[in-house]
Every structure is written in structure tokens, then in C-alpha cells.
Amino acid sequence: MNFFADHILSIILFFPALAGLIILFVPAKQVKAIRWIALAASLVPLILSLLVWIQFKPLGRGFQFQERLVWYEAIKATYHLGIDGISLVMLLLTTLLTPIAILASFSVQEKVKAYMILFLFLETGMLGVFLALDLLLFFVFWEIGLVPMYFLINLWGGERRNYASLKFMIYTMAGSLGLLLAIQLMGVLTGTFDIPELIQKWPAFQGASILGLPFSVIKQVAFWAFVVAFAIKVPVWPFHTWLPDAHTEAPTAGSMILAGVLLKLGAFGFLRLVLPLFPVESQMYAGGLVFLAVMAIVLGALGAFGQTDFKRLVAYSSINHMGFVVLGIGAAAWVGLTKDSVIALNGAVLQMFTHGLSSAGMFFLVGVIYDRTHTRNLHDYGGLWSLLPKYGTILVFTSMASLGLPGLSGFVSEFMVVRGAWPIFTIATAVSMVGLFFTGAYVLKALYIVLHGPINKHLEGHVTEINTREIIVIAPLMVLMLLIGVWPAWILEIINRAVMTLF
Amino acid sequence: MQFPLLSVIIFIPLVAGVALLLMPHDRKALIKVTALCASCLTLLLTVILYVSYNTQAGGYQFIERIDWLPSLGISYFVGVDGFSVPMVLLGSLVLVCGVLVSWGVEDRPREFFSFMMFLGTSVLGVFSSLDLFLLFFFYELAVFPKYLMIAMWGYPKTRDYGAMKLTLYLFIGSVISLVGALAMYFASGQNTFDMLALEKAGFSLEFQRLWFPVVFVGFAVLAGMFPFHSWAPDGHVAAPTAISMLLAGVEMKVGAFAALRVAIMLLPEGAKAWAPLIFGLATINVVYGALIAMIQTDFKYVIGFSSVSHMGLVLIGFATLNREGLLGAGLQMFSHGVMTAMFFAVVGMVYDRAHTRDIAQLGGLFRKMPWAGVGFIIGGLVSMGMPGFSGFIAEFPIFMGAWKAAPVVAIIAIVGIVITAGYILLVVRRVFFGAIPPALEKQVGDVTIKDKVVIAVLGVIMIALGWLPALMVPILKTGVDHILRLVGGA
């Protein structure tokens, strides 16, 4: 086979970074050229990943499109890439949201060159996590994505950006320390970092005691090290406090990517690493995980309800929605592979995708209105629907997808999670469904305050309608929300097989 | 006879240094160009050395041996193995960068560049020596240029103190080591300073355990080991930019290298017995150094203490005495050398323009000097062990080695990473971003083209090594294999 077909994942992975390097040599004054180069460059991975999607065999076993090269031989780490159904869906989500976010960033006026370079580097960082099949490589990309995100928040963010960006970085890095230590330990003990190989070896692996602790305890500690690192990223209550700050202060496109893709990295970590590597420990602590998920769902919704800042409200809603992902994972961890748990896991992965669409859409719409009014305070809006009918319609549509209205994407995935988890954790599922009620409440509250009621006199006359570029940004998201809402089978058939072989 | 590549590399700077002293002092351009040409030639030959080192064969290569004082068993005996080749490369590289960033020195440039060249020969000589006496000879050769350069061209307020403290610390350290070296000389009964012979001398267990701490600590002072580290921040801060780069970038590695070559490799049983203590002190280095760096208000002191923290990781790697740890230590020595040279170069560029190092009075400099900002950020990412940069591929094996040898050390030392991330991010933000103070708005301009060359070269090396560890790992591995054969861990 030719080079292109053999290395398509590598090309997808490094194309954005390469484009970023090319932009480095474009004069900073050529703002227009830089924007279009960045957009064009981010479309290439999208087209290639669609190509991968077409060639992907949903019924194939194991990882497809694998690439393997010697990388860091001395410690036996390899450059190993490959995808299964879960990572394919995430690959598509990332390559789809990046060009959309870049198009949404055309309104950025300051330091456009640096902004676009960082954004493209960020894409490579995120893609690497989804594609890596080597634990060390996984960690490399896991951490490296933090750097562009830190600078995106720190340099283009809102008023409290210094606080928010540092908190984001330190929180995540500190959370990853345990992960780093656990990865090192696993490498030392098993002599490999290869994920498929570790999945074979590690669950049954028995070693000597360390520091006087029996090996089973060591394994549990390693399990928690993984869980904490991923739980912070998801984020699961009570590790969520970095999120409202980071999301609120990030520039619009940064929030879109944060909520749309970065949070999924954490959930993806659970699916790719925690469940397959620690099946015993996962089952042991599944109840705890489900408890945290329910807390995230309920408290996230209540937190969102209490906000007066529109962007903060959307940020809290992410905690609420990501809770369902963890609920599905926790339910599956408890029972292993049954009919119900497969449904729950399918729902969880689909929820990762649909939340990616709806949260990116919501943050974008908040950004659109902020650009025009320069306020995010809900009470400074009012009666916008009559002023901006197109914007109002789009906002209602996206909000409904987000709250889980039947016929739109959020409903399918949340229903599947709840359906799958119900026989396994009935009470927890029931409580989280109450959480769903609060979700409805805060979304409607926001819609009411922003769109209805008396028109705010300050806004009348100088708020302009959503423009064509912005409609182009949101349109693909809306199409997908509707498509998945009415016909989810095309994506579920990809997910299903991967989920069934997870254990 | 073969071309004596290694000797030529070692002595080019020395010859150039002498030649500089013979030049008329007012021919400043000629002096600088001569220094640059000499250091570039050294670097070029070092790259040839690096590429032509045979990793299949391993062992000591490019060996040259001439009797010097045969009656005492002293010879001019040089050669490099897989561990020293990267160090020689580091020395030549930082020397070139040091010359480039010193282009603006107007105060007695003849002596300045001449002394810098002497320092270059000293470090290159230590890395290449296979004779213990020769090693000390080169080691001590550094003392007078270091002292004079800090005392004459250093930061006026602290240079006397810094120079004196540094010289006394290091001198006492080397004397202690010399005593240990003489003990080895007499105990071997072979009347030789040949280190290859001493490796096989078969010192008794008691002898090794008794003398190891003496030799090791003497050298470890120069590596900045706690509690003998306090010369480092003071000395680095007092020194002029290029000397800070050479001191922190290369001289500290000279200390670590000598501790490895003489103490660990010649007295391996002693190393095994004393490893727990080294672990303890080195862990303090890592965590305490990072904490102290965090509270500094002086830009240059932050970097000074960060070196203390990072050298702790090198010593942890040594103390593991296993493959991963030693490999990581070697990588960390190179990576930290490049990184800290970048740091001090950027600090110097900032100070030259802003005339202050007080972090509170700096700010928003990225807009004025973007290259310096990018350079500092890359250095910072290496420093916090960010994957994708050379620091990560160095620290990761060190921690793996620590897991094998002393898990608790790995668990404690890893905290250093987050603390480092904290202070680096804060410094980057306060110095390079935010609002620029009005006083600096006018006086600060962009860096020169030579500064940009330095930043680009060092930055590219750190990133390339981070993604392609194979650039350096195979060569280091042959050196590590040799050490492991000596300590019996292979």
C-alpha cells in the first residue's frame, strides 16, 4: 500500500501542527490570509477523517488503521496509533469542531497569527489523545494540549483570565501527577507501554508488594490515580471547580473546544484505559463513581440554575451533561458486559458526541450575543427574540437539543444512558432523572430571560442580527443535532462494536 | 597517525584564548570574531565527533595517550564514551551561544572572551579526561576564569560576594575530592592515575564505602547538591550573562559528571551503600529548590534556584544505579544544560534592556521582544517536564528508575513538577504578559539577530529532542551500559 493510506492517521494528527508551523512564516499583518490558511488547514483533517469513516469496518475486531514505529526504544515506548469505534467518533468530533471554532474566531482581532497557530497546535494535541495506542504517547498528547489552551485563555480571555488560566493549568497538571506515576509504575513492572498489550497483561498482573503495601492495594491506588486524572478533566463533582472559571474566561472558540472536545478527553480516558485496564477495581468502586456522577448531574443543574452570567450558566450545564457520560460508564463498570450495560455505554459515547455538538453551539451563541452587547449578565438582556428573530430561533433550537427534547440529539443519548443504567442502579438513575428536570428548568429560565419579556431599552437599535458567517458556523451543528435526533443508527453502529469489546 | 580530533576540540578554545590576549585591546571587532570563529569551529568538530562516534562498538573512543609524568603514573589520556560525548556537545554548544549573547560586552572584551575560552577548554577537558590527574587539572583550570569573570564583569552589587562564595565553595569541594582521589591512587598500588586501570583496581569494600562520600560530595558541591547548593544561585546571579549560561548550563554538569566518573564508576560499592543518602538529599534538592524558586522576586534568582531543583533530578538518576535512571540522568544533564542556557540568555537580554531584574517592575515584554518571550516559554515548558520537550524524555526514565530503586523518592519528587509549573507560569505571565510599565515602554527594544540565533538553536534542540529521543538515546545508552557493567547492575 502507498504511504498515504498507510499513514493516514499520522497525517491527520500532524497536519494541523504542520500548518501551524507554516503560518509562523506568514507576516503577522496578513490577517486575512492567516485566517483562511488556518481554516483551510483545519478542513483537511476533517476530510481525511471522513475518508477514514468510510473505510472503517464497523464489524472489524480490535484497532484499525494501526501504525507502529520505534520511538523511545530505551524505555520500550512506541509510536503506536490506531482507532476503534469510540475513537473514530471522537476523531470526527474533533476534526469537525476545530474548523467550526476557527471560523467562529474570525472575529478575533488581536494577535491573530499567534491565536491561529495555538489553535492548530491544540487540535494536534487533542487528536493525539484519541489516536494513541501507547500509554506514554497518550500522556504526551494528554499534557501537551494544555499548553495552547493555557495561552488561549490567558491571552484572549475575559477579565479574570489570569486566575482562570493558572487554575486550569495547575489543576490539570496536578491531577495528572498520579497518572504519570501510575504510568511509570506500569511501565517498570510490565516492560511495555503498548495499550493493547497492557490490556492483555495488566488486569491479571501480579507483582511484589511496594512500600509494604500488598500488590492489590497498589493496583487500587493506580486505579484511583487514573480516575482522578480523568475525573478532573470530565469533570466529575467535586473536581469540577476549574471548569466554570476556565470556560467563562476563555475566548468563545476556546470555550467551544473546551466543552466540545477537551472534556471528552477525560471520559475517553475512562473508556480507553480505566475500564479495560482495571476491570476488577472498576467494579469495586463503580458505586462511588455513579454517586459522583449523580452529584454532578444534580448539582451541575442546580449550579446552572443559580447563575446570572449566561456563559457561566452554560459552563455549569456541561458538568450536568457530562455526568450522564460517567453514569453510563459507572453502570457498565458494575455489571460488566450485559445487554443493559451495552446500551448505557452506547449512550455514554453518543452523549460525548452530542454534548460536543450542543455545548459548542451554546458557547458559540453566547459568544455571538456577547460580541454585540458586551455583557454576559442575563438581566441585561431581555426581549431579544423580537429584535433578533433568526438568532432567537437558533438559540431555542440549540437549547432544546441541549436539554434533551425528543427528536433532537441530546434526547437519544441521555435516554440510552438512563435506559441502560436503570436496571443496574435504579435509585441513582431515578435521582439523575430528577436532575434532568432541573436541566429543563435552567434552560427555560435562560431562554425566558434572554429572549422574552420586556425589551431592554439599552439594546434596542444597536444590536445586529446574527450574520452569515455565524450562521455557517452553527448550521452544521444544527444539522447534526437533528440528524442524530431522528436517525442515530449511522453513528451507533460504529460505537456499538467498540463498546462490546471494551472488556 | 590519526587526526587527534578530541585534543583539537579541547585545545582550540585555549589557543584562541591565548591568541586573544596577544591582540591589541582596541581591536574589538577582531576579538569578537576570533572568539566566535574559534567556538564555532569547536562546535563543528564536536558535531563531527558526535556523529562519528560508533554506537555499535561503544566504549571509549577517540583515545589519545601521551606520557606526561611517567614516574608518577600521570599521562595525557583522553577519550570519550557514550556518556561524555553529549556532554562535550553541550559544552561546545553553550560556548558558542555564550559568545553570541556577549556581543555587546564593551568593557575589556579582550580579557572577557579570552577567559571564556579558557573556561571552555576546562569543561571540554573534564568531559574527555581518562586520567584522574588530568581531570583535576582541567577541573581547576576553570577556577580563575570563573572568579575573575564574575568579579570583574558581574552584577556590581553582589559580584564580590558571589564570586568569593562560589570560588570558596567549589575550591573546598575540589580539594576534598582530590584527597579522595589521592587515596585511590595509593590504595590501588599500581602507581597510576589511569581511570581505566583504576576501574579494574578492585578496591576493597571497606575502602570504597569509606572514601565514596568524600569523593562524591566534593564534586557534588559543583553539581549543586543540597545542602551545598547555596553558592549556585548567588554565583549565577552575580555572573555576567554568558558566564551564568556556562556555569549553570555546563559547569554544574561538570560537577555531576565528575561525581559519576570518579566517585560512582571507580567506587561502585560505595555508591550502592550511600545511595539512600543521595536519594534523600537529591529529593530535597528537587522539592526545596522549586519551593524557594517560587518565592523569589528577582527574575534571575528564580532561574538560579530552578537549576538547584533540576540538578536534584540528575542526582536521583545517579542514585538509582539502574539503566533507566542513569539514562535519564544523562539526558537531563544535556536537556537542563540547554534549557538553563536559554533561561539565562533571555534573562540577560531582558536585563540589558530593562536594567532591572525585579519581577514586579517588569511586564508586557512579549510585545517588545517576542523572540525572547518564545525562548523563555520553551525553556519553561522543558523545565516543567512538559511532554513534547526534552525535559520530559529525560525526567520520565529518571522516575522509572526511581520506581525500581526507591518508590517513595519518585512519589515525593514528582511534586516538584507541579511547583515548577506554578512558578514558571507566574514568571512568564508577570514578565512577558500583562501591561508594560511606562518606564519600560520606551527603553526596551527587540533582541539582536545574534540573540535570535541563540534562541532558535537552543529552542529547536529542546523540541527536536523531545519528539525524537533517538537523536541522543542510543549514544547515551552505550555509556550507561558501561557504567552498569561497573556497578554490576547490567
B1 has pLDDT over 70: no
Q: What is the pTM of this model?
A: 0.90
Chain A environment of B417 (Cβ under 8 Å)? 173, 177, 180
User: How large a percentage of chain B has pLDDT more than 70?
Assistant: 99
* ipTM value: 0.87
CA distance B344 to B98: 10
Nearest to B404 among A143, A180, A188 (CB): A188
Mapped to the 3 state alphabet, what secondary structure does A364-377 carry? Answer: HHHHHHHHHHCCCE
User: How large a percentage of chain A has pLDDT more than 90?
Assistant: 30
Rounded to the nearest 10 degrees, what angle do helices B109-128 and B84-101 cross at? 170
CA distance A305 to A319: 12
Nearest to B421 among A136, A170, A184 (CB): A170
Size of interface A-B (CB pairs under 8 A): 84
Mapped to the 3 state alphabet, what secondary structure does chain B carry? Answer: CCCCHHHHHHHHHHHHHHHHHHCCCCCHHHHHHHHHHHHHHHHHHHHHHHHHCCCCCCCCEEEEEEEEEHHHCEEEEEEECCCHHHHHHHHHHHHHHHHHHCCCCCCCHHHHHHHHHHHHHHHHHHHHECEHHHHHHHHHHCHHHHHHHHHHHCCCCCHHHHHHHHHHHHHHHHHHHHHHHHHHHHHHCCCCCEHHHHHCCCCCHHHHHHHHHHHHHHHHHHHCCCCCCCHHHHHHHHCCHHHHHHHHHHHHHHHHHHHHHHHHHHCHHHHHHHHHHHHHHHHHHHHHHHHHHHCCCEHHHHHHHHHHHHHHHHHHHHHHCCHHHHHHHHHHHHHHHHHHHHHHHHHHHHHHHHCCCEHHHCCCCCCCCHHHHHHHHHHHHHHCCCCCCHHHHHHHHHHHHHHHHCHHHHHHHCHHHHHHHHHHHHHHHHHHCCCCCHHHHHHCCCCCHHHHHHHHHHHHHHHHHHHCHHHCHHHHHHHHHHHHHHHCCC
Chain B environment of A155 (Cβ under 8 Å)? 433
Asked if residues A95 and A12 have their Cβ atoms less than 8 Å apart, the reply is yes
Name the residue type at position B482.
H
**Nearest-Cα residue of chain B relative to residue A191:** B400
Q: How far is the alpha carbon of A173 from chain B, nearest alpha carbon, in Å? A: 7
Name the residue type at position B52.
S
Q: Tens digits of per-residue pLDDT, A247-274? A: 888 888 889 998 889 999 999 999 999 9
Q: What share of chain A is helix, strand, coil (3-state, %, to 5)?
A: 75, 5, 20
How many CB atoms are closer than 10 A to CB B297?
Answer: 12
Nearest to A140 among B388, B410, B473 (CB): B388
Alpha helices (H) along A25-160? 31-55, 85-104, 112-131, 135-144, 146-156
The residue written with cell numbers 568531559 in the block is B127
Nearest to A154 among B408, B417, B429 (CB): B429
Q: Which of A134, A184, A185, A210 to mutate to test the interface with B (most CBs of B within 10 A)?
A: A184
Q: Which three cell numbers stand for residue A334?
A: 458494575
**Nearest-Cα residue of chain B relative to residue A168:** B422
B356 has pLDDT over 80: yes
Across A209-218, A409-418, B329-338, which has the greatest mean pLDDT? B329-338
- Give the model's pLDDT for residue B444: 80
- Give the model's pLDDT for residue B154: 86
Q: Tens digits of per-residue pLDDT, A418-429? A: 898 888 888 888
- Predicted confidence band at A279 (pLDDT cuts at 50, 70, 90)? confident
CA distance A479 to A261: 19
Asked if residues A286 and A293 have their Cβ atoms less than 8 Å apart, the reply is no
CA distance B452 to B313: 30
CA distance B257 to B46: 18
A1 has pLDDT over 60: no
Contacts of A214 (CB under 8 A, 6+ apart): none
- Give the model's pLDDT for residue A446: 86
Nearest to A184 among B327, B399, B469 (CB): B399
Nearest to B387 among A144, A155, A187 (CB): A144
**Nearest-Cα residue of chain B relative to residue A140:** B387
Asked if residues B95 and B114 have their Cβ atoms less than 8 Å apart, the reply is no
Name the residue type at position A474.
I
Domain boundaries, chain B: 5-487
- Checking phi first, is residue B488 left (phi over 0); if not, alpha (psi -120 to 50) or beta? left
CA distance B231 to B224: 8
A228 has pLDDT over 80: yes
CA distance A152 to B472: 33
Asked if residues A102 and A253 have their Cβ atoms less than 8 Å apart, the reply is yes
Beta bridge partners of A80: A68
Chain B environment of A142 (Cβ under 8 Å)? 387
Contacts of A148 (CB under 8 A, 6+ apart): A118, A119, A121, A122, A125
Q: Which three cell numbers stand for residue A177?
A: 501527577
Chain A environment of B399 (Cβ under 8 Å)? 180-181, 184
Across B22-31, B88-97, B405-414, which has the greatest mean pLDDT? B88-97
Chain B environment of A188 (Cβ under 8 Å)? 324, 400, 403-404
CA distance B169 to B146: 13
Contact A170 B404 (CB under 8 A): no
What is the three-class DSSP state of A195? Answer: helix
Burial class (CB in 10 A: 0-12, 13-18, 19+), B367: middle
Task: Tell me the backbone φ, ψ of residue A79, rounded to 5 degrees.
Answer: -90, 95
CA distance A104 to A362: 12
Burial A120-133 (b: 16+ CB within 10 A, else e): bbbbbbbbbbbbbb
Q: What value does the mean pLDDT of chain A take? A: 88
CA distance A297 to A240: 12
**Nearest-Cα residue of chain B relative to residue A163:** B426
- Predicted confidence band at B284 (pLDDT cuts at 50, 70, 90)? very high
Q: What value does the mean pLDDT of chain B take? A: 90
- Give the model's pLDDT for residue B7: 92
Average pLDDT over residues B435-447: 82
Distance, C-alpha A207 to centroid of its chain:
35
Q: Which of B392, B420, B423, B472 to mutate to test the interface with A (most CBs of A within 10 A)?
A: B392
B208 has pLDDT over 60: yes
Calculate the dihedral angle through the C-alpha atoms of A331, A332, A335, A340, rounding to the nearest 10 degrees.
Answer: 90
Q: Which three cell numbers stand for residue B6?
A: 578530541
Asked if residues A401 and A409 have their Cβ atoms less than 8 Å apart, the reply is yes
Asked if residues A315 and A259 have their Cβ atoms less than 8 Å apart, the reply is yes
- Give the model's pLDDT for residue B490: 44
Distance, C-alpha A447 to centroid of its chain:
24
Contact A144 B327 (CB under 8 A): no
Contact B403 A173 (CB under 8 A): no
CA distance B25 to B108: 7
C-alpha distances in Å from residue B223, one per residue of A154, B148, B250, B253: 36, 21, 10, 6
CA distance A328 to A429: 10
Q: Which of A397, A371, A369 is nearest to A383 (CA)?
A: A369
Contact B414 A155 (CB under 8 A): no
Contact A139 B425 (CB under 8 A): no
Sign of the CA dihedral running B18, B19, B20, B24: positive
Contact B324 A74 (CB under 8 A): yes
Nearest to A74 among B386, B434, B477 (CB): B477
Chain B environment of A72 (Cβ under 8 Å)? 393, 469-470, 473
Q: Which of B55, B367, B393 to mutate to test the interface with A (most CBs of A within 10 A)?
A: B393
- Give the model's pLDDT for residue B282: 93
Q: Tens digits of per-residue pLDDT, A144-168? A: 988 899 888 888 887 888 888 888 8
Q: Which of A274, A267, A286, A256 is nearest to A324 (CA)?
A: A267
**Nearest-Cα residue of chain B relative to residue A171:** B418
Average pLDDT over residues B159-171: 89
B186 has pLDDT over 60: yes
Q: Which of A12, A248, A249 is nearest to A123 (CA)?
A: A12
Contact A166 B386 (CB under 8 A): no
Asked if residues A438 and A301 have their Cβ atoms less than 8 Å apart, the reply is yes
B235 has pLDDT over 90: no
Q: Tens digits of per-residue pLDDT, A295-334? A: 999 998 888 888 888 888 888 888 989 999 999 999 988 8
Asked if residues B428 and B319 have their Cβ atoms less than 8 Å apart, the reply is no
C-alpha distances in Å from residue A464, one per residue of A382, A387, A399: 15, 8, 21
Point out the least confidently predicted range of A173-182, A494-503, B474-483. A494-503
Contact B407 A166 (CB under 8 A): no
CA distance A102 to A238: 32
Contact A73 B473 (CB under 8 A): yes
Burial class (CB in 10 A: 0-12, 13-18, 19+), A214: exposed
Asked if residues B42 and B95 have their Cβ atoms less than 8 Å apart, the reply is yes
Q: Tens digits of per-residue pLDDT, A429-485? A: 888 888 888 888 888 888 888 888 787 777 777 778 888 888 899 999 999 999 988
Contact A185 B403 (CB under 8 A): yes
B433 has pLDDT over 60: yes
